Structure formats: C-alpha cells, structure tokens
Amino acid sequence: MKGILFTEFLDLVEDKYGLEMVDKIITSSKLESEGVYTAVGTYEFSEMLQLLQHLSTNTGISIDDLLLVYAEHFFDVLKQNYPELLAAYKDPVEMLASIENHIHVEVKKIYPDAELPTFDVLKKTKKSLVMIYKSSRAMHHFGLGLMNKTFEHFNATADIVVEKLRDDGTEVKFVINKN
C-alpha cells in the first residue's frame, strides 16, 4: 500500500483524536515500518489493517465507518494532487465508470507498485451504474466514501447501495442511482 495512504490517515487521526491516539495505535501494532511512513514509500497492507483495528477498538467506531470518513478526506487529497485526472470529467457517473480503464490506469503509471481494486461495470445508463468491486483488501467502504465525494464534487447526490457478494467483503456490488 502506498505511503500517501498512511501519511494522510495518520494526519487525519491526529486532527480528530490528537497525537496521543496516533502514538497509541502505532505502539499497539506490530509494524515493520515502525510507524514511520513517507508519501512515496510502499508498505504492507497489514500495517494499515492493524492501525485501523486499534483505532476502531479505541474509538468504538467500526472499521467500515472509519474507512468511509477517511475516504472522504482522501478525496480532497486526490483533488489537490491529481487535478488533471478529475478535470477530465463533467459527470460523476462517467467518472466512476472510468476508474478501472482510466483513473487507476494512470495511477499505475505513476506508482507501478500500487495495489488497486478492480471495478467491473455491469450496467451503465446516464444516471445509474452497477459495478462489482473486487480486492483482497476489502476496502469497499473506502470506495463508498470516494463515490460519495465524487457526487459532491459535481454538485450532485446519489443513492448508493452496497451489497456484499462475499462475506469477507472482497467482492461487493455497488448499485448507484444519481438523484
């Protein structure tokens, strides 16, 4: 997992819960990195999972809800760092339908070692989209947060239904209807 996800995550934890919480979740995890991350580095996903688990235990907030809030913050980071990728789109449905064959393709060019999910489009109309998310990392709620923010970015809203196709969350169906 790319370092930018760790640095931004820990910044957000510090903003919301203070430096003590950052310290607490780092020291209670077994981290090869020892909790020292750079934005351009690459680290084990298991480190993120441990940090999330400990934050969840300490706050009583589920990992899915933490990922949702984190993704909403991360969208602003993406907007600042990759404005040209977002500028290619005028419509949220078009943008989300293009994650797989444009946005994440570009991400892979920038970071060849990025570990990205797949989003297969099953059905698309002007105002709706059905996609299957697949990833061993089961970060579907991170995806949901980015989707919510994508609609907000275009001054739109949508109903998004998340249906697990596998219990472990590694395969999830998103049914998106723009309002």
Interacting residue with ligand HEM among 114, 132, 156, 162 (CB under 6 A): 114
Instruction: Please identify the residue of the shown chain whose CB is closest to the bound ligand HEM.
Output: 135
- For ligand HEM, the closer of residues 5 and 13 by Cβ is 5
Stretch that binds ligand HEM, among 33-41, 108-116, 122-130, 153-161 (CB under 6 A): 108-116
- Interior angle at CA 43, CA 39 and CA 48, nearest 5: 95
Per CB under 6 A, does 65 bind ligand HEM?
no
Site for ligand HEM contains 22 (CB under 6 A): no
| 85 lies in the binding site for ligand HEM (CB under 6 A) | yes
The yes or no reply on residue 116 touching ligand HEM (CB under 6 A) is yes
Region from 16-24, 50-58, 136-144, 162-170 binding ligand HEM, contact rule CB under 6 A = 136-144
